[in-house]
Structure 1
Amino acid sequence: MSNAINCIDPRDSAAPGGHYSHAAVAGGFVFVSGQLPIAPDGNKLADASFEEQTRQVLDNVARALVAAGSGIDKLVQVRVYVTDIALWPQFNTLYAAWAGAARPARAVVPVPVLHYGFKIEVEAVALA
């Protein structure tokens, strides 16, 4: 197994907002950085509804996976951070439609605040 790490920043996604990559491929896995509701053109969706924010975040996760040569069907674990645990049922419905047959391990973690006032952030691990 190679010790190489390949950092991925999809061309059809906004540039990372800090010193990180959208995803890193290593040891046969894809590690997707926490994705926020930022549109590919860089527009921050802080004022958008929870549904819109969630759809954008999941789209960003999918873009990172595809750019790394993976996909939703190869997800192993997903971590979700929400600013209000009462949003969990709505998230779960949107997530189930997005994930389809994939049923990776998952954690939903309530947090007091996210960057830019966002309501959701998602990070993931998948097979490469």
Structure 2
Amino acid sequence: MSSHEAIHSDAAPAALGPYSQAVRAGDFVYVSGQIPLDPETGELVGADMHSQIERVFDSLTAVAGAAGGSLADAVRLTVYLTDLGHFGLVNEVMAEYLQEPYPSRAAIGVAALPKGAAVEMDAVLYCPAAR
């Protein structure tokens, strides 16, 4: 028996390579990086950064739900931005999706992201399997 299991949601974009959208290991769920892709078309959404950040949070929410949890279970969030000037906007949108106690977080400036995305986020959830 495997010590971990793959998690998948059709409401989030399919993985772009040989990895899972998320993996449950015990009571923790490790959500892979999500970029602002439309789950149906696989294309980047919206030209404005607000829409892109919302799409990423929507994907994280969908994967968390497929694991039997929610973003309220997030204990760690990592944000990757190609322009750290969008840091404030990430905070604004994050406040629409999460409430206190907020997860710990890191924001990292990067040179590029897959498919030319401007934002990517991954998460770790504490999500006991037996709820």
TM-score, normalising length: structure 1: 0.92
* 2:41 aligned residue: 42
Task: Report the CA distance between 1:42 and its aligned residue.
Answer: 2.8
Listed one character per residue, the Cα deviations across residues 58-111 of structure 1 (whole Å, up to 9, x for unaligned) are 100010101011111111000000000111011111111111234010001011
Q: In 1, distance between residues paired with 2:111 and 2:56?
A: 18
1:29: Cα distance to partner? 0.2
Counterpart secondary structure, 2:53: helix
Secondary structure of 1:43 counterpart: coil
Determine if contact 1:72/1:102 at 8 Å carries over to the other structure. Answer: no
Instruction: Single out whichever of 37-46 and 109-118 deviates more from structure 2.
Output: 37-46
The residue aligned with 1:125 is: 124
Which range is displaced more, 96-105 or 20-29? 96-105
Name the TM-score, length of structure 2 as normaliser.
0.90
Hey, what does 1:60 align to over in structure 2?
59
Secondary structure of the equivalent of 2:17?
Answer: coil
Q: Which runs of 4+ in 1 moved over 3 A?
A: none
Gaps of 5+ in 1: none
Shift in Å at residue 45 of structure 1? 1.6
Instruction: Count residues with an aligned counterpart.
Output: 127
Partner of 1:77: 76
RMSD value over aligned CA atoms?
A: 1.6
SS in 2 for 1:73: helix
CA contact (8 A) 1:38 1:56 kept: yes
Secondary structure, aligned partner of 1:21: coil
**In structure 1, distance between residues paired with 2:32 and 2:90:** 19
Percent identity of the aligned residues? Answer: 31
For residues 20-69 of structure 1, the C-alpha deviation after alignment (integer angstroms, 9 at most, x for no partner) is 11110002100000001111203322662111110000100010101011
Deviation of the 1:12 alpha carbon: 2.5
